[in-house]
């Protein structure tokens, strides 16, 4: 006769860039509710980041906040060392999930856009995603998963002022497929989540602040309203989950059916 032995698998760990607000915060909390520990990064607004850490800890999960500017590629090795140090304190040496969420926009039509606008959006939305992912590959566990954030604007044309932003996100969607192909040998899945109009601080919080914009964009969706951050965070958590283990190199649009 043998004694029953109950073992508990260690909690999964996710790193989320731009996790101090908006979609990143929602994803962090959704993952924590599902039993995942979270390392989040922030560029500014340190108080916000630590408030999210406190929310996650109140759920009963571990959390840490690390500063990161995704335009400063030269600082990525330092971030990796900070991640390793955090993981060491948690008795781990790898993360299971990476969410490339950090972002911003610089508006301007094609005729008005500047080289500086294009460089900023390239640095944040493509170069930053590419080289941060590269830097973190040694600490991303085999069998892990990556979610890159894109936008509905990579499928449908919105205001002309988003031409460069949408183009960079289109490049991220292509990169996602290449990452999925290269990392598949390690069992790592890579997918894109593409939100539609959402009431966040993005673009200066324009949609959130404008009832007219909410009505306009909501009328363009099958579900009749614009999105909230908490419409997107659980989608990210779901795509990262084990239930999605056979899904990779896919674009999952979470837009409420915008401009079908």
Q: Is 18 left (phi over 0), alpha (psi -120 to 50) or beta?
A: left
In a domain, 203, yes or no: yes
In a domain, 8, yes or no: no
Q: For every one of its 260 residues, what pLDDT tens digit does the chain have, with 9 covering 90 and above? A: 444 444 467 899 999 999 999 999 999 999 999 999 999 999 999 999 999 999 999 999 999 999 999 999 999 999 999 999 999 999 999 999 999 999 998 888 899 999 999 999 999 999 999 999 999 999 999 999 999 999 999 999 977 789 999 999 999 999 999 999 999 999 999 999 999 999 987 766 778 888 998 999 999 999 999 999 999 999 999 999 999 999 999 999 999 999 99
CATH number for position 172: 3.40.50.720
Write down the pLDDT at residue 8.
Answer: 63
In a domain, 7, yes or no: no
In three-state secondary structure terms, 3 is coil
Strand ranges (E), the chain: 13-16, 37-42, 63-67, 95-100, 140-149, 189-195, 251-254
Secondary structure (DSSP) of 101-135: ---------TTT--HHHHHHHHIIIIIHHHHHHHH
CA–CA separation, 68 vs 257, rounded Å? Answer: 33
In a domain, 218, yes or no: yes
In a domain, 21, yes or no: yes
Write down the pLDDT at residue 161.
Answer: 86
Please give the tally of structural domains in the chain: 1
In a domain, 260, yes or no: no
Expressed in percent and rounded to 5, the helix, strand and coil fractions of the chain are 50, 20, 30
Active-site residue 206, yes or no? no
In a domain, 179, yes or no: yes
The answer to whether the CB of 102 falls within 8 A of the CB of 131 is no
What phi, psi does 140 have (nearest 5°)?
-95, 125
Write down the pLDDT at residue 202.
Answer: 72
Owning domain of residue 145? 13-253
Q: What is the pTM of this model?
A: 0.94
CA–CA separation, 124 vs 121, rounded Å? Answer: 5
In three-state secondary structure terms, 146 is strand
Neighbours of 248 (CB within 10 A): 20
In a domain, 259, yes or no: no
Residue of 162, 165, 178, 206 with catalytic role: 165
CA–CA separation, 74 vs 76, rounded Å? Answer: 6
């Amino acid at each position: 006769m043998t004694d029953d032995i109950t073992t508990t698998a260690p909690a999964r760990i996710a790193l989320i860039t731009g996790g101090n607000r908006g979609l990143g915060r929602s994803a962090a909390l959704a993952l924590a509710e599902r039993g995942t520990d979270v390392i989040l990064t922030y560029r500014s607004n340190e108080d916000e980041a630590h408030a999210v850490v406190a929310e996650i800890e109140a759920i009963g999960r571990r959390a840490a906040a690390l500063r990161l500017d995704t335009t400063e590629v030269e600082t990525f090795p330092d971030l990796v060392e900070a991640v390793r140090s955090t993981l060491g304190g948690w008795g781990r040496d790898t993360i299971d999930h990476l969410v490339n969420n950090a972002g911003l926009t610089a508006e301007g039509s094609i005729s008005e856009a500047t080289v500086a606008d294009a460089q900023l959006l390239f640095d944040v939305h493509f170069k930053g995603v590419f080289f941060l992912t590269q830097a973190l590959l040694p600490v991303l566990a085999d069998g892990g998963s990556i979610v890159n954030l894109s936008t509905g604007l990579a499928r449908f044309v919105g205001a002309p002022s988003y031409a460069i932003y949408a183009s960079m996100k289109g490049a991220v969607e292509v990169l996602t497929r290449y990452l999925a192909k290269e990392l598949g040998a390690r069992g790592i899945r890579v997918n894109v989540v593409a939100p539609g109009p959402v009431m966040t601080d993005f673009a200066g919080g324009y949609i959130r602040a404008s009832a007219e914009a909410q009505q306009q964009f909501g009328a363009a969706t099958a579900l009749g309203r614009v999105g909230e951050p908490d419409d997107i965070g659980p989608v990210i958590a779901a795509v990262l989950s084990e239930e999605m283990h056979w899904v990779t190199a896919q674009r999952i649009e979470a837009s409420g059916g915008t401009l079908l």
